[in-house]
Structure 1
């Protein structure tokens, strides 16, 4: 994203801009109002910086809170909601300026972007439902290999079938047709029925059209997102800056959701860059670079989502599948112990998804409704 002449002067305070360009700024009332507004806008910038600094630090940890885990993305959505609320307050407090140029153009552009984010939220909720289907398959594996009863050939076949269905379901959608042709277990008729049932499930539950593209939607969100020009900053009394900030945060959050959760035509090739003069630029760009690096890892290149829990269930099911292939009857005690251990690992992952998906979906829904409410309030204020 090209830099503008605003970058070189960002270090100057917004108050200085107004002193240089407003003829009435030498009056006590104007000076007090100017100082109050500058403090409000600076506070917003600091809050955004603090939120993303915390996210950057917590993403370096291990366990449930690590980068791209359900817990971490939940924190990201919480941070977005906090920033959105502060931005909403700024817009409300200075609504008299929203209808004047250049703010009417800038705020209109922001809310047009926010509409595009609503489709991303819908696609993410569809992806969550897809993960729930994988949970059901993993539940079949756990039930079939229940350690409380002897494991026979029938249970192994049932677990094997569920594992293959799970592996097919977790492939990137571009590879799904090839996977069905190469399916190594079950009759061709069963494979065809599975493919048809998966298509039926998608047609009933997906709330975005079959031609919708997450990659193109992100590109539309990023289109013409440039740092505000100096004359726009001056003319808007600095309000152009929080609009740009919120638009950038919105784009980043939607980009992370698409990176983590399965959705149609995933793609992370978005030209995202924040000039380092912004207080929040360093932590946001650091997170961006970490996620891009994660997507380039050999074991994640063709995955359907970078969510940590997806990676864990994929790895666990693959190891379990290989273990089942190596079993011969009568089963040795060593194999029985190994099967039990692998089932326990799968149970742990299954429980993490079970406990994490519902709160995560509620947060995605809250983001959706908060964006809608903010846009509606803005339209009402202009009437």
Structure 2
């Protein structure tokens, strides 16, 4: 039997260790709360700045290429901040609920990677439409305007409007008809023929539930927030860029409006949702430049239908031809930059996935 003094010393040592563990747990919890608050504030500020930009310079048109690029900047900024949260999370003992939350996020990321690939392919299709618009512009700028130039413009415009699923007036019919979609997802596509971006979005939100109780102040909350931001951004891309999908959900997320970070994001979702509902576009294609190109294309198509040589109507379409040329000029650089940015988001999603896998491995 140990002497009383040795027993007393051993007891004090164990008590000291226990007190250290309790203090350490309190410090970790306090750090978690600080990280969570900082992350929520960051997301709120980034979305607030996005939807309420400074009046000078003027804000970019809604769903335009620069607007989409700014949205992706918001995502990458939130992702960078989320990585900081993961560093803190890696020091937390793993629990079954936390493992489930992270596993679900890993699944969402895989679906988001597929969507990024589909969006990159969709941008390629938009580039093809831009090329068709440029052919029409070149043909209609010929002076004097002859029947051959107008026929070239009409062929290009027919292909362009077929690609955007617009209503095209058949030359031999007085009625309007809805053309079939020709967005191409052929050999360059790395998703299956039956794959649907819309269904991927719906699957991403199937188990996305707001943490409650004790989980609301733990690591599950930043995972929920980042997952929501990811789904929102992927959904906007699918709505804006023609993707391989049967439909685009009007509003995929039930965001908690009472939370500051979500109230700003809700504004984005509602505006895009209204546009999706109003346009009823199959497979997306709400990008501002595409909408303008389609509208001008329809007007120029009507001109080619009634054109007879010789004509004195060249000046009638000059303004629209110039506007189409300006849209093409802006898209020339903008589409390349947007495509590059989507690829960068793809790489960031891969890194997030690796970080989460690392967190789960560290806590095994």
TM-score bracket for this pair, using the shorter chain length: 0.7 to 0.9
Task: State the Cα distance separating 1:98 from its structure 2 match.
Answer: 6.2
Q: Does 1:158 align with 2:141?
A: no
Matches within 5 A, 1:173-184: 183-184=170-171
CA distance in 2, matches of 1:320, 1:98: 65
CA distance in 1, matches of 2:147, 2:264: 53
Aligned match for 2:280, one of 285, 288, 301: 301
Structure 1 residues 226 and 25: CA distance shift in structure 2, 3 A: farther
TM-score, structure 1 length as denominator? 0.80
Retained in 2: the 8 A contact 1:313–1:349? yes
Q: Does 1:248 align with 2:194?
A: no
2:194 is matched with 211
Task: State the Cα distance separating 1:24 from its structure 2 match.
Answer: 6.9
Q: Does 1:111 align with 2:112?
A: no
Aligned match for 1:69, one of 64, 67, 71: 64
Retained in 1: the 8 A contact 2:53–2:59? no
- Residues 105-129 of structure 1, C-alpha deviations (whole Å, 9 max, x = no match): 2112111111111111111111101
Matches within 5 A, 1:54-93: 54-58=49-53, 65-93=60-88
- Give 5+ residue unaligned stretches, structure 1: 1-22, 186-194
CA distance in 1, matches of 2:337, 2:54: 19
1:367 is matched with 345
2:357 is matched with 379
Q: Secondary structure at the match of 2:260?
A: coil
Retained in 1: the 8 A contact 2:133–2:156? yes
Greater gyration radius: 2
Structure 1 residues 44 and 111: CA distance shift in structure 2, 3 A: same
Matches within 5 A, 1:23-172: 31-58=26-53, 65-97=60-92, 99-147=94-142, 149-171=143-165
Q: How many residues align?
A: 337
CA distance in 1, matches of 2:252, 2:354: 29
Q: Does 1:311 align with 2:294?
A: no
Task: State the Cα distance separating 1:130 from its structure 2 match.
Answer: 0.7
Task: State the Cα distance separating 1:95 from its structure 2 match.
Answer: 0.5
Retained in 2: the 8 A contact 1:60–1:66? no
Task: State the Cα distance separating 1:378 from its structure 2 match.
Answer: 2.6
1:190 is matched with none
Aligned match for 2:259, one of 278, 299, 304: 278
CA distance in 2, matches of 1:350, 1:144: 15
Retained in 2: the 8 A contact 1:58–1:67? no
Q: Secondary structure at the match of 2:227?
A: helix
Retained in 2: the 8 A contact 1:218–1:251? yes
Retained in 2: the 8 A contact 1:163–1:321? yes
CA distance in 2, matches of 1:114, 1:223: 14
CA distance in 2, matches of 1:219, 1:277: 23
Task: State the Cα distance separating 1:96 from its structure 2 match.
Answer: 2.6
Task: State the Cα distance separating 1:278 from its structure 2 match.
Answer: 1.6
Task: State the Cα distance separating 1:306 from its structure 2 match.
Answer: 1.1
Deviates more, 1:370-379 or 1:155-164: 370-379
Structure 1 residues 211 and 60: CA distance shift in structure 2, 3 A: farther
Structure 1 residues 61 and 137: CA distance shift in structure 2, 3 A: farther
CA distance in 2, matches of 1:341, 1:240: 55
Retained in 1: the 8 A contact 2:251–2:269? no
Structure 1 residues 90 and 122: CA distance shift in structure 2, 3 A: same
Q: Secondary structure at the match of 2:118?
A: helix
Task: State the Cα distance separating 1:89 from its structure 2 match.
Answer: 1.8
CA distance in 1, matches of 2:108, 2:161: 36
